[in-house]
Amino acid sequence: MATKLLLTFAICRLIVTVGLTLEPTELLRLGLTVDPVDVESASVDFGLMTKVEPLAVLRPSSAEDVAQLVKAAYESSHGFTVSARGHGHSINGQAQTGTGVVVQMSGVRSSGKPSVWGDDMYVDVWGGELWIDVLKSCLEYGLAPKSWTDYLYLSVGGTLSNAGISGQAFHHGPQISNVHELDVVTGKGELMTCSKEQNPELFHAVLGGLGQFGIITRARISLEPAPQRVRWIRVLYSNFSAFTKDQEYLISLHGNQKFDYVEGFVIVDEGLINNWRSSFFSPRNPVKISSLGSNNNGGVLYCLEITKNYHESTAETIDQEIEALLKKLNFIPTSVFTTDLPYVDFLDRVHKAELKLRSKGMWEVPHPWLNLFVPKSKIADFDRGVFKGILGNKTSGPILIYPMNKNKWDDKSSVVTPDEDVFYLVAFLRSALDNGEETQSLKYLTNQNRLILKFCDEDGIKVKQYLPHYKTQSEWKEHYGSKWDWFQRMKMKFDPRHILASGQNIFSPTFLSSSKMASW
C-alpha cells in the first residue's frame, strides 16, 4: 500500500510537470511507473554510450494504452516526448528520452502469442514481440518468416523501424519488404491500421522510419514453409576482387539453383578467424591467416558464408546442388568448412555466442558500432582505404560485408540506400573493452569510426548509414537527400508536435525552447 501511495505521489508530480490531463489512477491503470528500477533500465541501451533517464516508463497491456498515453502527450499543455523501446538494442540512445516517457514494448503484460494464419501464410504479432518468439510460434505450423536479422532477440517494431537485414535480404529483401499490414499509434495518439492499400502514406513512412511517425503495435508478416535443416558453409579468399565477384554472382541467381543465405566477413585479426560468433572452425585445428596467402594482400582475409536449406526428404540431392554451385566460385581450395544443423539453430546462432560473451563479462560493454551501405562501384576503394588502411591488423569484433539487390527494397519506404542496383552492407560490430589495450578502447574505436566516415567523404564514396546516428538536422537532411522534403511532410502530418522518438535527434519537440536545441 505504501509503495502504491509513493507511486501515486510521484505521478502527481509528473502531471504537474508535463501538464497531463489524465488522473493518477488512470495513469496507474495504463501501466505508467516511475519505479527507479524501471527508469534505470530505460535509461541505457546496448550501445552503453549514452545514459538518459526518462520521466517515467509505460508498460502497456494493449495498443489502446499506448494510444492513450501518446494522445495525452499530444494534448498536454506543457508537452512531453514518447519513445518506444523494444529489447533495448539501439546503439546511440535512439530509444531514450529525457523529456518524457519510454514505452517498454517488449515483455508487456498481456500481448498474447503471435497469431499464425497458416492458410493465408502470415502471422500477426505485437510490436514488442521478439523475433525468436515469432519463429517459435510459426514453426509450430511448419512456417517461418522469409527475411531475418542475424540476432533474433530484437523486437519486431524495432527492426521494422530500421529495415531488418541479414543474409536472406538479397533474395527476399529486408524485413520491411515482407510486411502486409501494420497497426500504428501516430504522434496524435490515433491508432490506425495501414497497408499499401489502406493509409499507404503512413505505411511507407513507418517502415524504416526510425520511429518518427508512429509506434508499431501490430505487424502482419509474410511467411513461407520452413526448412528442417541447413548446410552451412564457409570458404576463404585472399583476393578481394574474387570475393566480391563471387558474392555478386551468387545474389544474381534465381530459382532453386541458388544459396538461401549469402553473407561475408573480413578478417584482419588472426584471433577472429577461430573465435568469431561461433565455434564453427575446429579449435583442435585452428586456421592460420599466414597459411592462406594473405600476406600479399595486406594481411587481410575474406570469408564467404553461405547456406542451403533442405528437408530430410531432399537430403540425398543437397550434396550435388552445393557442389555445382561451389564449382563456379574462386575461393582458396583448401579453405572449405562445412557443418549441418537444424534450421532454428542456424537462425539463432548469434545467441549462443552471446551466452559465451556474457559468461566472460564481454557482452554488457560499450558497442561503438558503425553500419554503412556502400555502393558497389566503390567497394574496392573502401577495401583499399579501410580494410587494408585504417583498420591495421587489429579490430575488436566482427566486420560483416555482403551485397544486396536494390530491386528487393521498396523505394516508397523511409529507408535511404545508395543509388545503384547492388550495394553492400559493411558493419563494424566492435566491442570496447577496458583492458588496457588502446586499440580496444572506446576512444580509439570511436575515433576510428570518424576516420572511416572522413575517408568515405574525401574519397567520394557516397555511403548511407544503416541504423543512422547524426547530431544535427543538417546532417539528417544530407542523409535523406531528395527524400528529406517528403520525410518532413510525413512528420508534420503524423507527428506535428514532434513527440515521437526524440532520441533520434532528427526533429526538435515543439515544446522545447530554441536554447535547449542550440545545435539545430
Counted residue by residue, the chain has a size of 520
Residue 499 pLDDT level (bands cut at 50, 70, 90): very high
Q: Would the pLDDT of 512 be above 80?
A: no
Bin 467: left if φ > 0, else alpha if -120 < ψ < 50, else beta. Answer: left
Give the separation between CA 270 and CA 245, rounded to whole angstroms. 24
> Is residue 475 flagged as an active site residue?
no
Q: Would the pLDDT of 196 be above 60?
A: yes
Amino acid 268: pLDDT? 86
CA-to-CA dists, residue 285 to 235, 268, 291, 372, 394, angstroms? 16, 19, 13, 34, 22
Bin 101: left if φ > 0, else alpha if -120 < ψ < 50, else beta. Answer: beta
Residues 58-70: b if buried by 16+ CB within 10 A, e if exposed: bbbebbebbbbbb
Residue 11 pLDDT level (bands cut at 50, 70, 90): low
Q: Which of 164-173, 339-348, 372-381, 394-403 has the lowest mean pLDDT?
A: 394-403
Percent of the chain with pLDDT strictly greater than 70 = 87
Comparison of pLDDT for 471 and 299, the residue scoring more = 471
Q: Would the pLDDT of 156 be above 60?
A: yes
Amino acid 1: pLDDT? 47
Cα angle for residues 5, 9, 11 (degrees, 5° grid): 115
Amino acid 282: pLDDT? 45
- For the packed helices 473-480 and 484-494, what is the interaxial angle rounded to 10 degrees? 120
Which residue is catalytic, options 65, 129, 263, 383? 263
pLDDT digits (tens, 9 = 90+) for 212-264: 999 999 999 999 999 999 999 999 999 999 999 999 999 999 888 899 999 99
Mean pLDDT of 142-151: 98
Give the separation between CA 162 and CA 464, rounded to whole angstroms. 13
> Is residue 89 flagged as an active site residue?
yes
Which residue is catalytic, options 38, 45, 89, 383? 89
Amino acid 405: pLDDT? 98
Which residue is catalytic, options 124, 150, 321, 340? 150
Amino acid 107: pLDDT? 84
Q: Would the pLDDT of 281 be above 90?
A: no
Mean pLDDT of 309-323: 90
Q: Would the pLDDT of 109 be above 70?
A: no
Sorted by where each starts, the structural domains of the chain and their CATH numbers stand as: 1-106+495-518 (3.30.43.10), 115-225 (3.30.465.10), 229-465 (3.40.462.10)
Q: 191 with 201: CB under 8 angstroms?
A: no
Give the separation between CA 90 and CA 92, rounded to whole angstroms. 6
Residue 12 pLDDT level (bands cut at 50, 70, 90): low
List alpha helices for 55-110, DSSP H. 63-75
Amino acid 290: pLDDT? 54
Q: Which of 82-91, 153-162, 202-211, 313-322 has the lowest mean pLDDT?
A: 313-322
Identify the sign of the CA torsion 225, 184, 55, 32: negative
Amino acid 143: pLDDT? 98
Mean pLDDT of 452-481: 97
Mean pLDDT of 371-399: 94
Residue 7 pLDDT level (bands cut at 50, 70, 90): low
Give the separation between CA 283 and CA 328, rounded to whole angstroms. 29
Mean pLDDT of 20-30: 58
- Give the H/E segment covering residue 115: strand 115-117
Mean pLDDT of 97-118: 89
Residue 28 pLDDT level (bands cut at 50, 70, 90): low
Q: Would the pLDDT of 6 be above 70?
A: no
> Is residue 78 flagged as an active site residue?
no
Average pLDDT, the chain: 90
